[in-house]
């Protein structure tokens, strides 16, 4: 579904992403793990049109998305939940959700999408008229994921969804990702919590200072001694 080939990203002289190639097959969860500053967020931003790569190809459903605006990328079916969630704290929960659908010319399906969101997250229904900034961190992450889902993506990109959350909410976020995937959603997941990411994902890539150092089925990387030592704290 998504294929990134020989991606390079420079920030002035910093070569943040170096010849990265990766693939996200339809129906799978693919995770990208690596230390802070390895370049994970940069790769996600390039896919979403938020950062212009210096070179390389990014194909989604057979079409190049390099050079497209973020808006056009969403329109093609890629929805990105950024690190830090970036919900609008002064808007209500409902207003935040409506923003997820704003790019769709026709809003008649919105009611259906909202019903799905509220079925999945009853707390968002209870709090729909409340300012989103009053939600807990975990609830805000649920809102951010829901807002992304309302755009009806074919590929959901999640950047550090568990960052800063209480352990019980971390479990809840991973459960949500798993259930979305079981319902057919394709997911590209960047996570600091490498153990949980590898347990959840089908396939994984390890990024070290801008380069892919290892790749394979997530279950294999979970048992790899180098991965265990460097990323799983074992």
Q: Tell the smallest beta-carbon distance from residue 201 to ligand ATP (Å).
A: 17
Q: Tell the smallest beta-carbon distance from residue 159 to ligand ATP (Å).
A: 7
- Alpha-helical (H) ranges within 100-224 are 110-120, 122-126, 137-150, 167-182, 194-200, 218-222
Q: Tell the smallest beta-carbon distance from residue 224 to ligand ATP (Å).
A: 20
* Contact window for ligand ATP (CB under 6 A) among 8-16, 59-67, 85-93, 221-229: 8-16
Site for ligand ATP contains 84 (CB under 6 A)? no
Site for ligand ATP contains 11 (CB under 6 A)? yes
Tokens of 135: 């939600």
Asked if 97 and 109 count as a contact pair (C-beta separation under 8 A), the reply is no
Q: Tell the smallest beta-carbon distance from residue 146 to ligand ATP (Å).
A: 23
Rounded Cα–Cα distance for residues 204 and 21 (Å) = 12
Block residue for tokens 């089925």: 217
Rounded Cα–Cα distance for residues 127 and 105 (Å) = 27
How far is residue 132 from each of residues 87, 97, 104, 140, measured CA to CA in Å? 7, 10, 22, 7
Q: Tell the smallest beta-carbon distance from residue 40 to ligand ATP (Å).
A: 4
Nearer to ligand ATP, 40 or 85 (CB): 40
Site for ligand ATP in 14-53 (CB under 6 A): 14, 16, 34, 36-42
Total site size for ligand ATP, rule CB under 6 A: 11
Tokens of 73: 């990328």
Report the interface residues with ligand ATP, using CB under 6 A.
Answer: 11, 14, 16, 34, 36-42
């Amino acid at each position: 579904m998504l294929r990134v080939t020989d991606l390079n990203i420079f920030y002035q002289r910093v070569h943040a992403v170096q010849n990265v190639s990766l693939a996200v097959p339809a129906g799978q969860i693919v995770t990208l793990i690596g230390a802070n500053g390895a370049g994970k967020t940069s790769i996600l931003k390039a896919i979403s049109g938020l950062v212009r790569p210096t070179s390389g190809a990014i194909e989604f459903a057979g079409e190049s998305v390099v050079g497209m605006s973020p808006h056009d990328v969403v329109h093609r079916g890629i929805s990105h939940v950024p690190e830090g969630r970036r919900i609008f704290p002064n808007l209500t929960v409902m207003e935040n959700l409506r923003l997820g659908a704003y790019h769709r010319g026709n809003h008649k399906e919105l009611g259906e999408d909202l019903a799905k969101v509220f079925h999945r997250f009853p707390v968002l229904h209870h709090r729909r008229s409340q300012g989103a900034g009053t939600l807990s961190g975990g609830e805000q992450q649920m809102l951010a994921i829901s807002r992304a889902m309302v755009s009806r993506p074919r590929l959901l990109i999640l950047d550090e969804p568990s960052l800063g959350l209480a352990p019980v909410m971390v479990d809840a976020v991973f459960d949500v990702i798993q259930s979305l995937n079981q319902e057919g959603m394709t997911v590209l997941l960047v996570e600091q919590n490498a153990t949980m990411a590898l347990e959840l994902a089908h396939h994984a890539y390890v990024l070290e200072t801008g380069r892919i150092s290892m790749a394979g089925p997530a279950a294999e990387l979970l048992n790899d001694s180098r991965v265990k030592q460097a990323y799983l704290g074992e």
